[in-house]
Amino acid sequence: MDFEKDDVLAMHTHAHADVHITIVTRGEFAVHGPSIPITIHQPGAVIDFQEGHPHEIIATKAGRIVNIQKHVLGKPTASPAGPA
């Protein structure tokens, strides 16, 4: 998703089926929510959103973010590594 400076992705939440991580690929973004203190993210940042936690994203500089969905058809897309 491309953003111009000061664009806002309004406060929203994700359910289990559509929760994702966000990667900042260029620009700079502020993220905050009722249970998320305001943080500034620059290229390379990975933001791990949790289901049910409202959040808003503000472009403090023009940029791009990429979202990667955590679940496919309600199942995790990857399993945590277990003991060897």
Residues 6+ apart with CB under 8 A from 37: none
Asked if residue 39 belongs to a domain, the reply is: yes
Report strand pairing: 36-41 vs 20-33. antiparallel
Q: How far apart are the first and last CA of the chain?
A: 38
- Span 1-60, pLDDT tens digits: 999 999 999 999 999 888 999 999 999 999 999 999 999 999 999 999 999 999 999 999
Asked if residue 84 belongs to a domain, the reply is: no
Distance CA 11, CA 58 (A): 10
Question: How many separate domains does the chain show?
Answer: 1
Which backbone phi and psi does 47 adopt, to 5 degrees? -110, 120
Strand-pair partners of 46? 23
Asked if residue 78 belongs to a domain, the reply is: no
Asked if residue 68 belongs to a domain, the reply is: yes
Asked if residue 27 belongs to a domain, the reply is: yes
Asked if residue 82 belongs to a domain, the reply is: no
Full residue range of the structural domain in which residue 38 is found:
2-72
Asked if residue 8 belongs to a domain, the reply is: yes
Per-residue pLDDT for 84 more than 50?
no
Looking up residue 20, the CATH number of its domain turns out to be 2.60.120.10
